Chains A and B, each alone.
Chain A
Amino acid sequence: MSENLIEVKGLTKKYGDFVAVNGIDFHVRKSESFGFLGPNGAGKSTTMRILAATSRRTSGQVSVLGKDPEIYGPQIRAHLGVVPQEGNLDVQLTVTENLYIYGRYFGLSSKFIRSKIDDLLEFAQLVDKRDVKVEALSGGMKRRLIIARSLVSEPDILILDEPTTGLDPQARHILWDRLFRLKEDGMTLLITTHYMDEAEQLCDRLIVMDKGSIMSEGSPADLIKKYSTKEVLEVRFGSNRNADMAPTLQNLCDRIEVLPDRILLYAEDAEAVLEDIIGAGHHPNTSLVRRSSLEDVFLRLTGRSLIE
């Protein structure tokens, strides 16, 4: 089970002088679900494109299934199912035709593909849209179709770049469930996402990237333990007063983060902190005690909140 399907050492990608990915190392094991977190422009998609053999690296070593994607492009891509961040469905074709021709690109026979189409339509919940032109689908439907399309070749590795962006909550949960099952069947998943709950649900291990570098790596639970406290207290004093209150509250907790709309106080026992605050005569407009999440790790590592 410790077989490394993907190994990356010192991977660097430059666009002109701009360094998009700056010497990163990581590896992904078979049947693992591996996540990439990071703010916009961190280099997640760039890294994924290089792994997917659709972009050339500037330097470093990359091995996917034991081969260099730059040398064995078509052979490696035959193992992959790719859901790109930007949609690239064939707008001139219908839903079914999109699935069909995509399978044909892999060289699969018409018969084989046709035997899979019904299942894939089911997967994408697009059975009743099967003969509709892709242009006429809603954004979320297109997204689901792209995901279904990536499965037509029965890939060993599924590369999902923000797969659930644009999906409604129900469709997201259905997708999580399906991805989970694919993983149980032995598929390896690479996922980027801006949804921390998604990362916590889906990823065995993840890296947090910022400005082309890896800030940290580990399982969601490890990362939370390492970079955050057990609990968090969120208080709001109104946007004008939040910043003024911060110095006063600083001593009451392990760490404090002041966001434009609220203050986050990190502590092992957040309830106790709230009592202290009220005891000191301060009265926040609202307060909330919750467990630490990846959101807090992200904030700590990148200095940026996701919900700004």
Chain B
Amino acid sequence: MLLSAAVAIAERRSGRLGDKYYAGRSHIVLERSLIAFKSSTWVVIVTGFVEPVLYLLSFGYGVGKFIGSIDSGTGRMVSYAAFIAPGLLATSAMNGAIYDSTWNVFFKLRESRLYHAMLATSLGPLDVALGEIAWALLRGLIYAIGFMAVVAPLGLIPSWWGILAIPAAVLIAFGFASIGMAITSYFTSFQQMSLVNIVLLPMFLFSGSFYPLTVFPGWVQGMIKALPLSQAIQLVRGLTLGAINVGLLSHVLYFLVMIACGLFITTRRLDALFMR
């Protein structure tokens, strides 16, 4: 039998570790997102970018006018807008990643059956998962750069370390996206998706975007600090305000563990999802 091009390509990976799950083409899944993005998701991207900026303008400069400066948590006083900017960056990284890995993934999994189409080809489930997460990260990166491009000229990033807030935002997005995808794999209806919001909204309100956690009693502070969004905010705020210490590495480690757990669960769930 004459080998078709598709077969020759698939055979190249034959015998390699994980060839059952991974065909080495997650970039094609990313390519698909880019094509789709060109035409339809502009609105979502723009919203993702505008939202934190609107929060910043209304709270940072509106509420900020009454507050003046605030203790950044390291004993240094900073303007209220500079205090909340990193919180908003971390939050938008989370929101973007969660949106992509829950709503979008759910839609492609259950409604449009896009993943079924992909997996009818010689792609493997891991190609799909990695490609989709890569897209969430790329968007996270674009959001972060856009946000920084607005806030840095306003003087809200006092330290040069602040540049690292961009990769930090991508790390945060990676953590949330991989966990989000793992969770979405258990959902069977759109209604269940609102559970995600029930968890996210209080986390957003209480994780210290808008005020220092010192307003809470000690034991509550401890609990909140363990939450992923709070970890994210501490990391980004430390960078933008230049409060560099070993503690920041613990936040990085926190997200690395989160990514590992998320990918582990997602990969294990892929079979259940795609090979029913």
Contacts and interface: CB of A to CB of B under 8 A. Distances in A.
A90 to B, nearest CB: 6
A155 interface: yes
Contact of A155 (B4, B20, B117, B119): B4
Contacts of B9: 78, 106-108
Contact of A90 (B10, B19, B117): B117
Interface hub of A73, A82, A97, A133 (most chain B Cβ within 10 A): A73
Contacts of B1: 156
Interface in B14-36: 14, 19-20, 23, 25, 28-29, 31-32, 35-36
Contact of B7 (A78, A87, A102): A78
Interface in A96-120: 97, 100-102, 104-108, 112
Interface stretch (A50-58, A230-238, A248-256, A280-288): A50-58
B36 A88 contact: no
B44 to A, nearest CB: 12
Interface residues of A, number: 40
Interface string B100-133: 0000000000001110111111111000000000
B14 A75 contact: yes
Contacts of B29: 105
Contacts of B36: 90, 92-93
B5 A74 contact: no
B39 A92 contact: yes
A91 interface: yes
B121 A102 contact: yes
A77 interface: yes
Nearest to B121: A105
B120 A82 contact: yes
Nearest to A153: B6
Interface of A: 15, 52, 54-56, 71-75, 77-80, 82, 84, 86-94, 97, 100-102, 104-108, 112, 133, 153-156
Given A77-B10, A78-B9, 6 more contacts: A54-B120, A77-B119, A84-B116, A88-B113, A92-B112, A101-B31
